[in-house]
Every structure is written in structure tokens, then in C-alpha cells.
Amino acid sequence: MVFEWKSEAHFHRVPKLVPGPPNVYFADVFSTSSPEAPSPLTSSMFFLDYLERPDPAPKYEYDETGVVIKGELHIRDETGNEAKLLPGDTFFIHRGSTIVFSTPRYAVAYKSASRHSH
């Protein structure tokens, strides 16, 4: 297989992350096909709903980058560094970081990470 693709309609059905916070919807879209690959890459859709007091995500064991597609995504790390991202804005999370994702309403992002698919 040379390449894979998904239609835009695929991104309207992002499932609830289970187990996970009540406001996080997440689905891997594409991934390195070999589970033994030394440098895997996985892309995913991420939907975040408003939550009054969001909890931090688990400590990142891999690098991750993404682009906000819709809504407004707020990201804060353990050092207090924070950003309010709008559609078209990109982000990079370094492995070892602890991140809090939040939104005043909702956010949709497309992310890629140096990890195998879940």
C-alpha cells in the first residue's frame, strides 16, 4: 500500500476516549503499519468539549504536534507556559511534558505523534 486517505466525513465521528476525561473524544486515524518499527508515527483526531475544571493529561511519553481545525484550544504546560490556539494554529508538545488542554466552548485538532497506534 502506497498511501491511505480518509474523507472529511470521517472526522465527524470521533469516539469518546474510554477510559478518559468526560470531555475528551479521540481516535487514531493513520499509523505506522509495523508494530516493530523503530520510529513510529500515528495521526489522530482530537475533539475537546468544555469542562469547568480540566485535569492534566498523563505525562507525554512521546513528541506530538498538531493543528487546530475548529474552535479554540487552550494548552498549558507544567511550567506555566500557555497558548490560546485558533483554527490554523499549530502546536508541538515535547515528550516528558504534562499538559492541560481546555477550551471555552469546544476544539477540534488533527495531531501526529511519534508513537504506535492505541
State how far the Cα of 43 lies from the Cα of 113, in Å rounded to an integer. 6
* pLDDT over threshold 90, residue 49: yes
- Determine the length of the chain: 118
Q: What's the pLDDT tens digit per position in 55-98?
A: 888 899 999 999 999 999 999 999 999 999 999 999 999 999 99
Could you tell me the pTM of the whole model? 0.89
Beta bridge partners of residue 112, listed in sequence order: 43, 65
Residue written as grid cell 516493530: 36
Question: Domain 8-113, what fold?
Answer: Jelly Rolls (2.60.120)
